[in-house]
C-alpha cells in the first residue's frame, strides 16, 4: 500500500554505513557525522511512530554535545520532555542497524504490530526537530525530516538551531498545551529570574565580595548565542560571553564544560587577567554547566566548581525555603515536602558527606541522565546533578499545585511573611529551572540569583567543602561489556574476583574510594579513584587500571 511504498522509496535514499554497528547508548546515537545520514533518517521514522503511539508531540535533536565538531548525533525527547522511554531503545538499535530497506520494512511492521500502533493514515503525528551549530547539522536535519514524513500523517517542524534543553522544554510545553516558542522559553526564564531577584533580602544584596558579573565560556557552540539573547532580557546581571559560535573558534576544542571539568585547566579565551572572577563553562549543546576560578598565579590550572557544588548550592537554598515554609506556615497550611538529592558514583565523596551532614537524603543511580532524572522525579523536590555539570531540580505536580494555591492568597504588593516569600521563591525556581532536562542556561541563572540571595562570592561558595583529590582513567579492553556492575556502578559483580582485588587496593589508602564501569559512550572501561592526596588517587587509579587490563 501507500505507506509501504513510501517507506521503501525514501529508505533506498539512505544506505547504512558498511561494517559499523551503531547503538543508541546513554544519550542517543553518536558517530562521525559522515556515518549518520541513514541513522538520523531512521530515527526520524522512530520519532514519528513514537508520536503516533503516544498521541503526543515528540522531539528529535541533532547534536553530539561535547564531542568533536566532526562528530554528530541524534536523540529523542519523549512527550514529557525527558529521554526516550528505555523500552524503545532496542528498537532504535535494530532500526539503525537494518542492512537493507526490506529489512527495515519488516522491522517496522513487526514493531508497529507489537506495540499496537495505529497506522490508519488518518492519525496525526508531529515531531519537533532541532540541531546545534555543527556544520553537518543542516544535512542531517533534512535526513530526519525525510524519515518523519515517510510515515503517513506525520509532520516535521523545524525549530532551527537550539540548545538541547530548549528543544526538550518546547516538547514538554507543547504537550502541556502552553506557549512553546523560543521567545516563550526566554520570557519564562527571565521573568522567573527577575521574580527571584525581587525577593532577595535587602540586607544581603550589598554584601562585600559579591558582584553582579559572570564571564561565560560558550564552548564555541550554540549556548553562547542563546545566552546573549537571554541576557538582553535581564538588567541587574552582567553576563560576558566568550567562545560563542559566531566568534569563529572550533566547537569544544580546548573550551567548554567537558574540557574544563576533565582537564581542570583554563579554557581558551581566558587567562590570568581573569584571576579571581566568577567564570562558567557550558558544553557544546548547553546541557552542562560548571563554574571555575582562575587562580592568581599563572599555572594554567583552575579551581573547579563542579556539578556537585551546584547541587549543594541549590540544596542549601531550597532547604532554607522549605524550612521558612514550615516555620511560618504552621502545621495547618504546611505541606511536608519531601526533598531528595540524586548523585552518581562520580560525585566527589566530600560532596556526599556534606549533603548528608545537612541531613539530606542522598540517592545514587548509574551514570546517565535518564537514571538520575527518574529517581529525582520520586520526590516533591528532587535535585540531581552529575559531577560533569548535567542536572536540574524537579518539582512534583502536586507540590507545584500546592505552591500555586498558596501564593494566590498573597495579595500583590504585600509580600508578607517569610513563609509567603519562600513559597513565591520556590514557585519561581520551578519555572526558572528546566523541568524537562538539565539546562545550562537556566542553571546559570539559578546559581547567579542564589549567590546574590546568599550574598556569597564564588569563593565563599567554593569553600562549602573541599573536594577530595581524584583521578579518572580509561582502559581499552577486548570486551568492555565483560565488566558488569551493581549498586549504581559502585561494585563489580563480574568478572569474579575483580571487586575483591579492587577492595584490597583501595584499603591501602586513607579516604580511598575506587570504582570501574564500562563507558556508555566510548569503547573503554573507566576507572575512578579518590583519596586524601592527589598522588594517592593517581597511584590507586593506576593500580586498579592494571587489574582491569
Ligand atoms: C552521556 C550522558 C551523561 C553521562 C555520560 C557518561 C546524557 C544526556 N548524557 O553524555 O549524563 O555522564 O554520557 O559517559 O545522559 P560515559 O558512559 O562514556 O562515561
Ligand atoms: Zn551536552
If you write DSSP's letter for every residue of 173-212 in order, what string do you get? HHHHTS--SHHHHHHHHHHHHHHHHHTS-TTTTT-TT--S
Q: How many CB atoms lie within 10 A of CB 89?
A: 17
pLDDT in the model for residue 210: 65
Give a three-class secondary structure readout of 429-455: HHHHCCCCCCCHHHHHHHHHHHHHHHC
**pLDDT score for 139:** 98
ipTM: 0.98
Residue 521 Cβ inside 6 Å of ligand 1? The answer reads yes
For residue 445 and ligand 1, the question of a CB distance below 6 A is answered with no
The helix (H) or strand (E) run that includes residue 62 is strand 58-62
Burial zone of 412 (CB within 10 Å; 0-12 exposed, 13-18 middle, 19+ buried): exposed
- Pick the catalytic residue: 65, 136, 430, 457? 65
Looking at residue 298, its pLDDT comes to 72
Ligand 1 pocket check for 368: Cβ under 6 Å: yes
Q: Is the CB of 23 inside a 6 Å radius of any atom of ligand 1?
A: no
Going from N- to C-terminal start, the domains of the chain cover 2-161, 308-439+447-456, 470-548
Residue whose C-alpha is closest to residue 257's, from 229, 278, 294, 287: 287
Closest residue CA from atom 5 of ligand 1: 368
Residue 519, annotated ligand binder? yes
Report CA 345 to chain centroid distance, whole Å.
16
Is 3 in a helix, a strand, or coil? helix
DSSP 8-class letter at 347? S
In this structure, which ligand is nearest to the CA of 76? 1
Find the ligand nearest to 307 CA: 1
**Measured at the alpha carbon of residue 321, what is the angle toward residues 318 and 323, in degrees to the nearest 5?**
110
Region 470-548: CATH code: 3.30.310.50
308-439+447-456 and 470-548 share one fold: no
CA 204 to centroid of ligand 2, rounded, Å: 34
Index of the ligand 1 atom closest to the CA of residue 75: 8
Q: Which atom of ligand 1 is nearest to the CA of 519?
A: 17
Q: Is 94 exposed, middle or buried (0-12, 13-18, 19+ CB in 10 A)?
A: middle
Contact between residue 331 and residue 310 where contact means Cβ atoms under 8 Å apart: no
Output phi, psi for 248, to 5 deg.
95, -5
| Span from the CA of 205 to the centroid of ligand 2 (angstroms) | 33
Q: Order the strands of the 339-343 sheet from edge to edge.
A: 361-364, 339-343, 381-385, 391-395
Give CA separation, 65 vs 351, 389, 531, in Å: 26, 13, 30
Rounded Cα gap, residues 205 and 484, in angstroms: 51
Q: Whole-prediction pTM value?
A: 0.96
Task: Give residue 213 CA to ligand 1 midpoint distance, Å.
Answer: 30
**What is the pLDDT at residue 334?**
54
Residue with CA at minimum distance from ligand 1 atom 10: 27
CATH class of the domain whose range is 308-439+447-456: alpha beta
Q: Which ligand is nearest to the CA of 288?
A: 2
Query: Per-block average pLDDT, block size 10, for the chain (549 residues)?
Result: 94 94 89 97 98 98 97 98 95 97 97 94 93 98 98 97 98 96 98 95 65 95 98 93 95 98 96 95 98 89 97 98 82 72 98 97 96 97 98 97 88 72 96 98 98 95 97 94 96 97 98 96 94 97 96
pLDDT of residue 521: 84
Contact 148, 156 (CB under 8 A): yes
Residues in the chain: 549
Would residue 23 show up in a list of annotated catalytic residues for this protein? Answer: no
- The topology (CATH level 3) of 2-161 is Alpha-D-Glucose-1,6-Bisphosphate; Chain A, domain 3 (3.40.120)
Q: Is 519 in the pocket of ligand 1 (CB under 6 A)?
A: yes
Alpha carbon separation from 451 to 54, 58, 222, 342, 447 (Å, rounded): 41, 36, 25, 22, 6
Ligand 1 centroid distance, CA of 25 (Å): 9
Residue with CA nearest ligand 1 atom 19? 519
Q: How crowded is residue 393: how many other Cβ atoms within 10 Å of its Cβ?
A: 29
Q: How far is the CA of 368 from the centre of ligand 1 (A)?
A: 5
**Ligand 1 atom index nearest CA of 386:** 12
CA torsion through residues 136, 141, 146, 148, sign = positive
The Cα 3–Cα 5 span in angstroms is: 6
pLDDT at 408: 86
Amino acid at each position: 500500500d501507500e505507506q509501504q511504498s513510501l517507506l521503501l522509496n525514501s529508505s533506498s535514499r539512505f544506505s547504512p554505513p558498511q561494517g559499523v554497528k551503531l547503538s543508541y547508548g546513554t544519550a542517543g546515537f553518536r558517530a562521525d557525522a559522515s556515518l549518520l545520514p541513514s541513522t538520523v533518517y531512521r530515527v526520524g521514522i522512530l520519532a514519528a511512530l513514537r508520536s503516533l503511539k503516544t498521541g503526543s508531540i515528540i522531539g528529535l535533536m541533532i547534536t553530539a554535545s561535547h564531542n568533536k565538531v566532526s562528530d554528530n548525533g541524534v536523540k529523542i525527547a519523549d512527550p514529557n520532555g525527558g529521554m526516550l522511554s528505555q523500552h524503545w531503545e532496542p528498537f532504535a538499535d535494530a532500526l539503525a542497524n537494518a542492512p537493507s530497506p526490506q529489512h527495515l520494512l519488516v522491522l517496522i511492521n513487526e514493531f508497529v504490530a507489537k506495540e499496537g500502533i495505529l497506522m490508519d493514515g488518518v492519525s496525526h503525528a508531529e515531531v519537533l526537530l532541532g540541531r546545534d551549530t555543527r556544520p553537518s547539522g543542516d544535512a542531517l536535519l533534512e535526513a530526519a525530516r525525510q524519515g518523519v514524513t515517510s510515515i503517513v500523517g506525520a509532520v516535521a517542524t523545524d525549530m532551527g538551531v537550539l540548545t538541547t534543553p530548549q528543544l526538550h522544554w518546547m516538547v514538554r510545553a507543547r504537550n502541556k498545551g502552553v506557549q512553546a516558542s523560543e521567545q516563550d522559553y526566554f520570557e519564562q526564564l527571565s521573568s522567573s529570574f527577575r521574580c527571584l531577584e525581587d525577593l532577595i533580602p535587602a540586607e544581603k544584596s550589598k554584601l562585600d565580595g559579591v558582584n553582579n558579573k559572570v564571564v561565560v565560556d560558550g564552548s564555541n557552540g550554540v549556548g553562547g548565542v542563546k545566552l546573549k539573547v537571554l541576557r538582553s532580557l535581564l538588567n541587574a546581571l552582567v553576563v560576558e560571553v566568550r567562545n560563542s559560535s559566531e566568534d569563529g573558534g572550533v566547537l569544544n576544542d580546548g573550551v567548554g564544560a567537558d574540557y574544563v571539568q576533565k582537564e581542570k585547566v583554563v579554557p581558551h579565551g581566558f587567562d590570568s587577567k581573569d584571576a579571581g572572577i566568577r567564570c562558567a563553562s557550558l558544553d557544546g549543546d548547553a546541557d552542562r554547566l560548571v563554574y571555575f576560578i582562575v587562580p592568581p598565579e599563572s599555572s594554567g590550572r583552575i579551581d573547579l566548581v563542579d556539578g556537585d557544588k551546584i547541587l549543594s548550592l541549590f540544596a542549601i537554598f531550597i532547604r532554607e525555603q522549605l524550612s521558612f515554609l514550615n516555620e511560618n506556615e504552621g502545621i495547618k497550611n504546611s505541606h511536608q515536602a519531601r526533598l531528595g538529592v540524586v548523585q552518581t558514583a562520580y560525585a566527589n565523596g566530600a560532596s556526599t558527606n556534606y549533603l548528608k551532614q545537612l541531613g539530606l537524603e542522598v540517592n545514587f543511580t548509574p551514570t546517565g541522565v535518564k537514571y538520575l532524572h527518574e529517581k529525582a522525579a520520586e520526590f516533591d523536590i528532587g535535585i540531581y546533578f552529575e559531577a560533569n555539570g548535567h542536572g536540574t531540580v524537579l518539582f512534583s505536580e502536586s507540590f507545584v499545585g500546592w505552591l500555586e494555591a498558596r501564593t494566590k492568597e498573597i495579595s500583590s504588593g504585600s509580600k508578607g511573611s517569610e513563609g509567603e516569600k519562600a513559597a513565591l521563591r520556590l514557585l519561581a525556581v520551578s519555572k526558572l529551572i528546566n523541568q524537562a532536562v538539565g539546562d545550562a542556561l537556566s542553571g546559570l541563572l539559578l546559581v547567579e540569583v542564589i549567590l546574590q540571595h546568599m550574598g556569597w562570592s564564588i569563593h565563599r561558595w567554593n569553600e562549602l567543602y573541599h573536594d577530595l583529590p581524584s583521578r579518572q582513567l580509561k582502559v581499552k579492553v577486548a570486551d568492555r561489556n565483560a565488566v558488569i556492575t551493581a549498586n549504581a556502578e559502585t561494585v563489580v559483580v563480574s568478572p569474579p574476583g575483580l571487586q575483591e582485588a579492587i577492595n584490597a587496593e583501595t584499603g591501602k589508602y586513607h579516604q580511598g574510594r575506587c570504582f570501574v564501569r564500562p563507558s556508555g559512550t566510548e569503547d573503554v572501561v573507566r576507572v575512578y579513584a579518590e583519596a586524601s592526596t592527589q598522588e594517592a588517587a593517581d597511584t590507586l587509579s593506576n593500580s586498579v587500571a592494571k587489574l582491569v587490563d
